[in-house]
Amino acid sequence: MIITTVKELREYLGAQRTSGKSIGFVPTMGFLHEGHLSLIRRAKAENDTVVVSDFVNPTQFAPNEDFESYPRNIERDEQLATGAGADVVFYPSAEEIYPRGSSTFVEVAGDITRVLCGASRPAHFKGVTTVVAILFNIVQPRRAYFGQKDAQQAAILIKMVADLYMDIELIVCPIVREEDGLAMSSRNTYLSATERAQAVILNKALREGQAAFEKGEDNVEKLIRQITGKINEAPLACIDYVSIYAYPSLKTIETVSDKALAAVAVRFGKTRLIDNIILEK
């Protein structure tokens, strides 16, 4: 079932809540793939009613980014989401989420939003935290599900929920990958055949970094150098960043002593891909 307005969704969820049903929520930008479906299945296993939002949020795209071309297919999304256990697909217009004159923002300040993707996408996470706060207030779920693929987003949202005392449990689920290791992403559809073949280098390089770490290398600079070198073996790869930070604080470290996030962003032509792996002793 597709619902497009806040009013209808609230009526539906109000009735669910009155009859004691727990609500699980999976916010997405649509064009669902196996990664999203794994979140929906988990949400259905842990809650009575599952809401999937399907909203390409304009405020998290910069003017030069791919908001217009971002892939969309609501009919297919509804089929896939329902098949995975969703009870409702919430598919609002931009005007429904941001009515005329809307000017309230939720922002997580500090390094956590400045490093990694925050460096090249300065307004991105403010758009993410604002839309997620709005969606949380509309859906009022008991649990919400996010993918580890967007590790920085997950860390920021965990912080937002804690700092603002939102009464919601966030659950971060593992990255789902193609057979060759490429992390699933709606943006993978942008890749040409040659780019697609080379894109596997992100995961390969991260796994090599992890292997080196497991053999005893804990120097962040050396690990970054190794991952960078591997990615550069792919002729079309243009690195945005290769970074290692403490996880989930995203604080700067020189040595991996506890839990750390190794994360990469790499462009292939116009397509920007991200991937990451957790290093843990």
Report if residue 246 touches a copy of itself, rule: CB under 8 A: no
Of 6, 84, 86, 279, which lies in the binding site for a copy of itself, with binding defined by CB under 8 A?
6
Tell me, by CB under 8 A, how many residues bind a copy of itself: 27
Q: State which of residues 5, 72, 79, 105 lies at the interface with a copy of itself (CB under 8 A).
A: 105
Q: Which of 11, 34, 65, 167 binds a copy of itself (CB under 8 A)?
A: 167
Task: Check binding of 104 to a copy of itself (CB under 8 A).
Answer: yes
Interface residue with a copy of itself, options 108, 128, 151, 263 (CB under 8 A): 108
- Spatial separation of the C-alpha atoms in residues 49 and 142, rounded to whole Å: 10
36 is catalytic: yes
8 A C-beta contact, residue 47 and residue 24: yes
Instruction: Out of 1, 15, 62, 109, point to the residue binding a copy of itself (CB under 8 A).
Output: 109
* Residue 138 interacts with a copy of itself (CB under 8 A): yes or no: yes
Burial of 167-186, coded b for 16+ CB within 10 Å and e otherwise, reads: ebebbbbebbbbeebbbbbb
The interaxial angle of helices 201-214 and 220-231, nearest 10 deg, is: 150
DSSP code of residue 109: -
**Distance separating alpha carbons of residues 56 and 91, to the nearest angstrom:** 9
**Spatial distance between the Cα atoms of 67 and 57, rounded to a whole number of angstroms:** 8
Task: Provide, rounded to whole angstroms, the least separation between the CB of residue 249 and a copy of itself.
Answer: 8
On whether the CB atoms of residues 263 and 275 are closer than 8 A, the answer is: yes
For binding to a copy of itself (CB under 8 A), which residues are involved?
6, 10, 99, 102-110, 112, 129, 133-134, 137-138, 140, 159-160, 162-167
